[in-house]
Structure 1
Amino acid sequence: MDREQLRHKKKEVESHLKVLSTPVKNDAPTNWALRWITGLIAGPLFLFSSVYAPYLFVVLALILCIVAYLEWDNFILCLFPEDLEKHQILRVFYVIIGITLPLAAIFTGSFHPVAAMLMVAFFALISFHIILAMFTKQDRLSSAGYNHFANHLVGILWIGMGVSCLILLVKKQPAFAFLGLVIGILSDTCAMFVGRSIGKHKIFVALSPKKTWEGFFGGVFGSVILYFLVVYSFRDKWSAAVNISWQPLAVVCILAGFVGQFGDLAQSYFKRIAMIKDSGVFFPGHGGVLDRVCGHLCIAQFLYFATQFPVIKEQCGN
């Protein structure tokens, strides 16, 4: 495919992408007022529902999971625009397979069925690609099929496992689900304020031209300090929610802050490869679902497995 044909295909791809998961171009401005309004509505809603309305939280998590899968699929479509025709079928199949992980978490409340569905997703994806190649009667297999398979699998590992672990935390350890959500929100906020005010040393311009080391560490430690201030203010309720001493909790919070910042950097990495500013427009002023929950997905997986660590598991009594 020559350059002119590829340019035509990219235009066709852009017209094909759905509204709620349409990637935003690099030169799109940020509406800060809209960003704050959206955050002040969405943040408390998810925090409240994670503790007091778990069924509402699960429904919201499933909706965000589906949109996040569509956004991730659009990433792949931006990388391989020449495969638009086959992508119509792959898109639906990918979302159906990916949503089985959080559904397993909802209906079983256990991680083992989630892991089993991950294995099923692996075999289903590779089988579907082989069958698709057979029915399209390809004379020679190309690397495009493998690239699609690998990228879809990464999406399921990141999104599906992240949402599943968050749902399991809400069902089993809501205090830790609340912790993860607060750390994620505060980490993003502190990183933004510290980076914009005193940030001078760039992390990696090709990855993100605005991210600085000052913002990175400000996000990690600022979120932990603010979180402990919140915990201290409501220490009686916290002690009733989870029985864990402050030493392991401090370690978990600091590590969760680092994991959240890593998730944000990973999202920037994927967006730069796809040459887009935002993954979508689901959250006005913030961008897409993946732009907002990238750190939360990583934190949720970390916190779920942290609660299985012997020291924490023994104190939590789970």
Structure 2
Amino acid sequence: MARWITGIILAIAAVFLLLYAPPTYLKILVCALSLIGAWEFFSITIPERLSVKIIGLILVGFGLSIVIYCQEAKALLFFIYVVMFLSFCIQFPGPVATPEKMRQTAFFVLGLFYCCFLFGILALMTDLPQYKYFLFLTLACTHGADTGAYVVGKNFGKNKLAPLLSPGKTREGGYGSVLGSILGAILVTVLFQVTVNWWLVLGIGAALGVIGLLGDLAESLLKRGFGVKDSGKLIPGHGGILDRFDSLLFTSPFVYFVAPYFQF
């Protein structure tokens, strides 16, 4: 019950913010969420290194400030490239790196990409023409995919999709994910009354259904690999920020990069 109540509250809040909040406020909100997500990520992958987690948070915050200032994905990619390069260079003068130290370095770099680039792209979507349409399209497809996967999987699911990663997911649920995402894309396009190529809308809906499912599995892979159930406890019934945004972090970059192909 807590999961459903929290989900409804979050959905209403998301719709209100997307309709009425200025783009700058949305970017600030995404930055705050990314910092929480970064803390969750580093707490899972590098729990014993408090100093590394703090440095990671600072770098994520700095990287996302670049997003707000430069308003371009290339600047964010260059920042991540520099940090990744320096993360390995600073180890050259010291003793030979141990496997554990290299593991920590690898997850540190992955965490920066995961929480800085993926959240950063979500923030950059507010700079797109017709950004409200694209944000609602992304959210509707992602939520529609989750709902479709749950409904179809619960009623018709028989064949496991990835039993080692997520025992509850089925292939039938995967088909429901694609169907739910397509319906979400159609609904948003009709409500916004935009004139677009419907084949493009249907194709993006289908693609987001698959990408969202893979994003969910990627989060499951991370948590199962480290033996944790949830990334955090911030959201009652849902876990942490990464648990709630697992699919959205993978669907939003796809929409961001295909948005220029829309002709309104």
Is 1:278–2:234 an aligned residue pair?
no
Write out per-residue CA displacement over residues 227-261 of structure 1, whole angstroms, 9 at most, x where no aligned residue. 413432x2xx331xxx5221112111211121111
Write out per-residue CA displacement over residues 30-80 of structure 1, whole angstroms, 9 at most, x where no aligned residue. xxx1111111111232233234312332222112101111111122136xx
Matching of residues 29-48 of structure 1 within 5 Å: 33-48=1-16
CA distance in structure 2 between the partners assigned to 1:238 and 1:162 by the alignment: 29
Q: TM-score by structure 1 length? A: 0.76
Match of 2:253 in 1: 301
- Cα deviation, residue 272, structure 1: 0.9
Match of 2:186 in 1: 228
Partner amino acid for 2:80? Answer: L
SS of residue paired to 1:244: coil
The unaligned stretches of length 5 or more in structure 1 are 1-32, 79-83
SS of residue paired to 1:272: helix
CA distance in structure 2 between the partners assigned to 1:34 and 1:93 by the alignment: 34
Partner amino acid for 1:261? Answer: L
Higher mean C-alpha displacement, 154-163 vs 252-261: 154-163
Higher mean C-alpha displacement, 287-296 vs 191-200: 191-200
Match of 2:157 in 1: 199
SS of residue paired to 1:211: strand
Match of 1:113 in 2: 75
SS of residue paired to 2:158: coil
SS of residue paired to 1:307: helix
The unaligned stretches of length 5 or more in structure 2 are none
Higher mean C-alpha displacement, 57-66 vs 278-287: 57-66
Is 1:264–2:233 an aligned residue pair?
no
CA distance in structure 2 between the partners assigned to 1:255 and 1:158 by the alignment: 20
- Cα deviation, residue 127, structure 1: 4.0
Partner amino acid for 1:67? Answer: I
Checking the alignment, whether the CA contact within 8 Å between 1:190 and 1:223 is kept in structure 2 is yes
Match of 2:126 in 1: 170
Checking the alignment, whether the CA contact within 8 Å between 1:51 and 1:178 is kept in structure 2 is no
Question: Which residue of 173, 184, 188 corresponds with 2:146?
Answer: 188
Partner amino acid for 1:106? Answer: I
Higher mean C-alpha displacement, 287-296 vs 98-107: 98-107
Q: Whose Rg is larger? A: 1
Question: Which residue of 71, 84, 87 corresponds with 2:40?
Answer: 71
Question: Which residue of 45, 59, 62 corresponds with 1:97?
Answer: 59
Change (3 A) 1:141 1:109: closer
Q: TM-score by structure 2 length? A: 0.91
- Cα deviation, residue 297, structure 1: 0.4
Checking the alignment, whether the CA contact within 8 Å between 1:162 and 1:301 is kept in structure 2 is yes
Change (3 A) 1:182 1:229: closer
Is 1:50–2:18 an aligned residue pair?
yes
CA distance in structure 2 between the partners assigned to 1:265 and 1:147 by the alignment: 21
Partner amino acid for 1:75? Answer: I
CA distance in structure 1 between the partners assigned to 2:143 and 2:28 by the alignment: 20
SS of residue paired to 1:70: helix
Match of 2:193 in 1: 238
Match of 1:213 in 2: 171
Compute the RMSD of aligned alpha carbons.
1.9
Checking the alignment, whether the CA contact within 8 Å between 2:138 and 2:252 is kept in structure 1 is yes
